[in-house]
Structure 1
Amino acid sequence: MIRANVIERADEIRSAFQNASPFRHACIENFLDEDIAKQALADFPDFDEDAARNEFGDVGRKAVNTDLPRISPFYARLSDYLVSDDFVNAMSALTGIAGLKPDVNQFGGGTHENLDGQSLDPHVDFNYDMATGRHRRINLLIYLNPVWDEAWGGCIELHRNPRDPEHDETAAFAPLFNRAVMFETNEHSWHGFRRIAIPPGSPVQSRKCLSIYLYTDDRPEDEIAPPHGTFYVPPPLPDTLVEGHTLTGEDIAEIRDRIQRWSHWLEFHQKRELRMSREIEDLRVMVAPEAHYINRGVRHHVAAMLREAGEVVIALGNAVGRLFGRNR
Structure 2
Amino acid sequence: MDIINKENLIHALTKFQEGKPFHHCVVDNFFTKKIANELSDEFLEYKSEKWFSYLNPLEDKKALNDWNAFPQLTYAVFNYLNSRSFIDVIQKYVGTELFSDNGLHGGGWHIHGRGGNLNPHLDYSIHPKLLLQRKVNLIIYLSPDLKEEDGGHLGLWNSDSKEEKPTTLAKEISPKFNRAVIFDTTQNSWHGMSRPLSHDRNMLRKSMAVYYLCEAKEGTSPRQRALFAPRENQIGNKEIEDIIKLRSDVKRSHSVYKV
Q: Which of these residues, 196, 204, 207, is aligned with residue 206 of structure 1?
A: 204
CA positional deviation for 1:206: 1.1
Using the alignment, how far apart are the partners of 2:71 and 2:236 within structure 1? Answer: 38
Q: Which of these residues, 128, 131, 134, is aligned with residue 136 of structure 1?
A: 134
Is the CA contact 1:139–1:183 (under 8 Å) kept in the aligned structure 2? yes
> Is residue 230 of structure 1 aligned with residue 232 of structure 2?
no
Aligned partner of residue 6 in structure 1, secondary structure: helix
Larger radius of gyration: 1
CA positional deviation for 1:99: 1.6
CA positional deviation for 1:208: 0.7
Is the CA contact 2:80–2:86 (under 8 Å) kept in the aligned structure 1? yes
Aligned residues: CA RMSD? 2.8
Which digits, 9 at most, give the CA deviation of each residue in 1:79-101, with x for residues without a partner? 321221122112223x3333211
Q: Hey, what does 1:295 align to over in structure 2?
A: none
Query: How does the TM-score come out when normalised to structure 2?
Result: 0.82
CA positional deviation for 1:78: 1.6
Q: How many residues align?
A: 242
| Matched-pair identity in % | 25
Specify the code of the residue in structure 1 equivalent to 2:19: A
Within-5 A mapping of 1:249-288: 258=234, 262-267=238-243, 269=245
Using the alignment, how far apart are the partners of 1:105 and 1:190 within structure 2? Answer: 24
Cα distance change on mapping 1:164 and 1:107 into 2, 3 Å: closer
Using the alignment, how far apart are the partners of 1:262 and 1:46 within structure 2? Answer: 36
Q: Hey, what does 2:196 align to over in structure 1?
A: 195
Is the CA contact 2:61–2:110 (under 8 Å) kept in the aligned structure 1? yes
> For structure 1, which segment, 185-194 or 75-84, has the greater mean C-alpha deviation from structure 2 after superposition?
75-84
Q: Hey, what does 2:215 align to over in structure 1?
A: 217
> Is residue 37 of structure 1 aligned with residue 31 of structure 2?
no
Q: Which runs of 5+ in 2 are unaligned?
A: 253-259
> Is residue 173 of structure 1 aligned with residue 173 of structure 2?
yes
Aligned partner of residue 101 in structure 1, secondary structure: coil
Q: Which runs of 5+ in 1 are unaligned?
A: 238-257, 277-328
Is the CA contact 2:146–2:203 (under 8 Å) kept in the aligned structure 1? no
Is the CA contact 2:55–2:61 (under 8 Å) kept in the aligned structure 1? no
Is the CA contact 1:147–1:176 (under 8 Å) kept in the aligned structure 2? no
Query: How does the TM-score come out when normalised to structure 1?
Result: 0.66
Which digits, 9 at most, give the CA deviation of each residue in 1:1-44, with x for residues without a partner? 2213225xx2x423311011111000110111222111110101
Specify the code of the residue in structure 1 equivalent to 2:175: P
CA positional deviation for 1:228: 3.2
> For structure 1, which segment, 35-44 or 72-81, has the greater mean C-alpha deviation from structure 2 after superposition?
72-81
Using the alignment, how far apart are the partners of 2:244 and 2:157 within structure 1? Answer: 24
Is the CA contact 2:227–2:247 (under 8 Å) kept in the aligned structure 1? no
Aligned partner of residue 192 in structure 1, secondary structure: strand
Aligned partner of residue 208 in structure 1, secondary structure: strand
Q: Hey, what does 1:289 align to over in structure 2?
A: none
Cα distance change on mapping 1:61 and 1:218 into 2, 3 Å: closer
Aligned partner of residue 189 in structure 1, secondary structure: coil
Specify the code of the residue in structure 1 equivalent to 2:239: S
Specify the code of the residue in structure 1 equivalent to 2:188: H
Using the alignment, how far apart are the partners of 2:183 and 2:40 within structure 1? Answer: 23
Cα distance change on mapping 1:39 and 1:186 into 2, 3 Å: same
Q: Hey, what does 2:7 align to over in structure 1?
A: 5
Structure with a larger share of its residues in helix: 1
Using the alignment, how far apart are the partners of 1:272 and 1:213 within structure 2? Answer: 19
Is the CA contact 2:139–2:180 (under 8 Å) kept in the aligned structure 1? yes
Q: Hey, what does 1:105 align to over in structure 2?
A: 103
Using the alignment, how far apart are the partners of 1:158 and 1:270 within structure 2? Answer: 24
Which digits, 9 at most, give the CA deviation of each residue in 1:229-256, with x for residues without a partner? 110111113xxxxxxxxxxxxxxxxxxx
Which digits, 9 at most, give the CA deviation of each residue in 1:197-245, with x for residues without a partner? 0534xxx7111111110111245x56x22233110111113xxxxxxxx
Cα distance change on mapping 1:231 and 1:272 into 2, 3 Å: closer
Using the alignment, how far apart are the partners of 2:111 and 2:84 within structure 1? Answer: 28
Specify the code of the residue in structure 2 equivalent to 1:87: F
Which digits, 9 at most, give the CA deviation of each residue in 1:50-106, with x for residues without a partner? 5343276x9x7411011144221112212321221122112223x333321111111
Q: Hey, what does 2:118 align to over in structure 1?
A: 120
Cα distance change on mapping 1:137 and 1:148 into 2, 3 Å: same
Q: Which of these residues, 154, 157, 181, is aligned with residue 156 of structure 1?
A: 154
Specify the code of the residue in structure 2 equivalent to 1:77: A
